[in-house]
Chains A and B, each alone.
Chain A
Amino acid sequence: MPELLVQYETEIWTSIGETFVMVGVSILAAILIGLPVGTFLFLCRKGQVLENQFVFSILNLLVNIIRSFPFLLLVVFLIPFTRLVLGTAIGTAAATVPLSIIAIAHYSRLVEQSLLEVPKGVIEAAISMGASIQDIIFKFLYVEARSGFVLGLTTSIISFISYSTIMGVVGGGGIGDFAIRYGYQQFKTELMIYMIIIMVILVQLIQFFGTTVSRMIDKR
């Protein structure tokens, strides 16, 4: 193993751990909140079963606003909110707040798009059978859209990793922050390149895994 990597082994492992925490929390937020928000976005659209122009417009606007922030500005903008929620705006835990918010906005849009690809006739068939909203969601929509959900989540996770690299600005740490502080600011270019290689491998693995799973569960 290159000498530099051995020398900084502890720091590197710590930074990988921080990245995993930040991305992990983002994934949880995306699934636990982004999925329902995306489902609502879809269901409240014109012509859908919960058609509600008001709710749709509000959600749609909110998602658009969050996604149009340059992420660095969103982090800074959310500092007071983060402090309100966690008592501090500094550190890895604090970094998960803006990351989760962008994760929810990002993934809910992809969920909505996957649901839009479900043929309208399938929903009509469900209604004609006497399905409740809950049945329509879980027994029809989610079954038909599941491979899209997995592909969307894969894309999202890769974005979350990218977003997490700038969390150094609020002391969030992570691989990106390590690469900047040691590799760039201390002129250890070699170290920076190693970090980039780690990121590339990570992204390749995630993409491969995501594509494989989505193909396996797609029977269309």
Chain B
Amino acid sequence: MIKLHNVSKSFSQFQAIKSVFLTIDQGEIHGIIGASGAGKSTLLRHMNLLEIPDEGEVEVNGQKLTSLSSKELRQARKSIGMIFQHFNLVANKTVYENVAVSLEITNFPKKERKNRVLECLQFVGLESSLEKYPAQLSGGQKQRVGIARALANKPQVLLCDEPTSSLDPNTTAEILGVLENINKSLGVTIVIVSHEMEVIKSICNRVTVMEAGEIYDTVLIEPTSIQIIDNSPRYYVEQLTKGGGMDDA
């Protein structure tokens, strides 16, 4: 499904990715974890060529992205959805328009656009907020719009760049639930970058651990299922006053 072959990338003097080989299979939820600066986001951004590798090849859905013309690449990107830590919605467009724009770009048949937008927004549970602007939404709702937008063109792959890192624990669990549902019911292959161990453990089948631009290891795991973390104020106080300090975690 996704193949990185000997991919390297430098930013001026700094080598962000060092000859990485990685294969991600169809239907996987694949995690990429590592410390800040380990190159996990950069690696993910190679999978739709938001970063162009200095060396090596990137193959997605059987297409070698690195040897496509810019027009073919745009076409290929339509089947690779992406969501972001900071959502990256168009602030001057409504929820509806934010999703619709991805269909306008791909020349999705005009008559079916409205239905498709509503379908996607229903899938993420936002069908009642069509006319709202992003500024009127919570973080979790914004990410749902991001997900609906990424799903609109029926992608085969969904790239998630720290999708829950600016969300609270409860909302994180909700969003992970949506992602899991996309993988199970739509069969979309998901790659998720996160520095949060809990996120990776709860949803991924296979995890790549990165260190200083290299793959340290790739391990198979048994997803622990998503825990709805209690974020009532009482729980916070309990956790804070329980004693034992850092070791407790």
Report whether B92 and A124 are in contact in the complex, using a CB–CB cutoff of 8 Å.
no
Question: Complex Cα distance A123/B76, Å?
Answer: 18
* CB < 8 Å neighbour of B105 from A119, A131, A147: A131
Interface string of A111-142 (1 = CB under 8 A from B): 00000000101101111111110010001100
Known contacts A144-B90, A220-B135: A129-B84 contact under CB 8 Å: no
With an 8 A cutoff between CB atoms, is B106 at the interface? yes
Question: Complex Cα distance A135/B106, Å?
Answer: 10
With an 8 A cutoff between CB atoms, is B77 at the interface? yes
5 A-B pairs with least C-beta separation:
A121-B88, A130-B77, A125-B88, A128-B82, A220-B91
Question: Complex Cα distance A144/B91, Å?
Answer: 7
Could you tell me which residues of chain B, from 73 to 99, have a CB within 8 Å of some CB in chain A? 74-78, 80-82, 84, 86-93
Distance in angstroms from A115 CB to nearest chain B CB is 14
* CB < 8 Å neighbour of B84 from A125, A217, A219: A125
Known contacts A135-B105, A139-B104: A119-B74 contact under CB 8 Å: no
Known contacts A129-B149, A130-B74: A217-B92 contact under CB 8 Å: yes
Most buried by A among B74, B82, B105: B105
With an 8 A cutoff between CB atoms, is B48 at the interface? yes
Question: Complex Cα distance A121/B86, Å?
Answer: 8
Report whether B78 and A130 are in contact in the complex, using a CB–CB cutoff of 8 Å.
yes
Q: Provide a sorted-by-A list of 6 A–B residue pairs whose CB atoms are within 8 angstroms.
A: A122-B88, A129-B105, A130-B153, A140-B101, A144-B92, A217-B92
Report whether A146 and B88 are in contact in the complex, using a CB–CB cutoff of 8 Å.
no
Contacts of B149 in A (CB 8 A): 125, 129
Q: Looking at chain A's contact residues, is the secondary structure mostly helix, strand, loop, or mixed?
A: helix
* CB < 8 Å neighbour of B50 from A124, A218, A220: A124
Interface size on A, residues (CB 8 A): 23
Known contacts A128-B48, A130-B78, A132-B74: A143-B105 contact under CB 8 Å: no
With an 8 A cutoff between CB atoms, is B133 at the interface? yes
Beyond contacts A125-B149, A129-B77, A147-B92: 6 other A-B pairs, Cβ-Cβ < 8 A, are A129-B102, A130-B105, A130-B106, A135-B105, A219-B91, A220-B92
Report whether B105 and A139 are in contact in the complex, using a CB–CB cutoff of 8 Å.
yes
Report whether B84 and A121 are in contact in the complex, using a CB–CB cutoff of 8 Å.
yes
Known contacts A122-B88, A139-B101, A219-B92: A128-B80 contact under CB 8 Å: yes
Question: Complex Cα distance A147/B82, Å?
Answer: 28
Total number of residue pairs linking A and B with CB closer than 8 Å:
73
Interface size of B as a range: 20 to 34
What is A's interface to B at a CB cutoff of 8 Å?
A: 119, 121-122, 124-132, 135, 139-140, 143-144, 146-147, 217-220
Distance in angstroms from B243 CB to nearest chain A CB is 41
Report whether B92 and A119 are in contact in the complex, using a CB–CB cutoff of 8 Å.
no
Question: Complex Cα distance A79/B50, Å?
Answer: 49
Contacts of B91 in A (CB 8 A): 144, 219-220
* CB < 8 Å neighbour of A146 from B78, B84, B92: B92
Distance in angstroms from B36 CB to nearest chain A CB is 18
Distance in angstroms from A33 CB to nearest chain B CB is 25
Distance in angstroms from B16 CB to nearest chain A CB is 15
Distance in angstroms from A220 CB to nearest chain B CB is 4
Distance in angstroms from A76 CB to nearest chain B CB is 43
Contacts of A139 in B (CB 8 A): 101, 104-105
Contacts of B74 in A (CB 8 A): 130-132
Question: Complex Cα distance A140/B153, Å?
Answer: 18
Interface string of B106-136 (1 = CB under 8 A from A): 1000000000000000000000000001010
Contacts of A129 in B (CB 8 A): 77-78, 82, 101-102, 105-106, 149, 153
Q: Which residue of A lies closest to B80 (CB)?
A: A128
Distance in angstroms from A4 CB to nearest chain B CB is 49
Known contacts A139-B101, A139-B105: A119-B88 contact under CB 8 Å: yes
Report whether B50 and A122 are in contact in the complex, using a CB–CB cutoff of 8 Å.
no
Contacts of A217 in B (CB 8 A): 92
Contacts of B153 in A (CB 8 A): 129-130
Distance in angstroms from B87 CB to nearest chain A CB is 8
Question: Complex Cα distance A107/B25, Å?
Answer: 51
Q: Which residue of B lies closest to A128 (CB)?
A: B82
Report whether B105 and A218 are in contact in the complex, using a CB–CB cutoff of 8 Å.
no
Contacts of B90 in A (CB 8 A): 122, 140, 143-144
Contacts of B88 in A (CB 8 A): 119, 121-122, 124-125
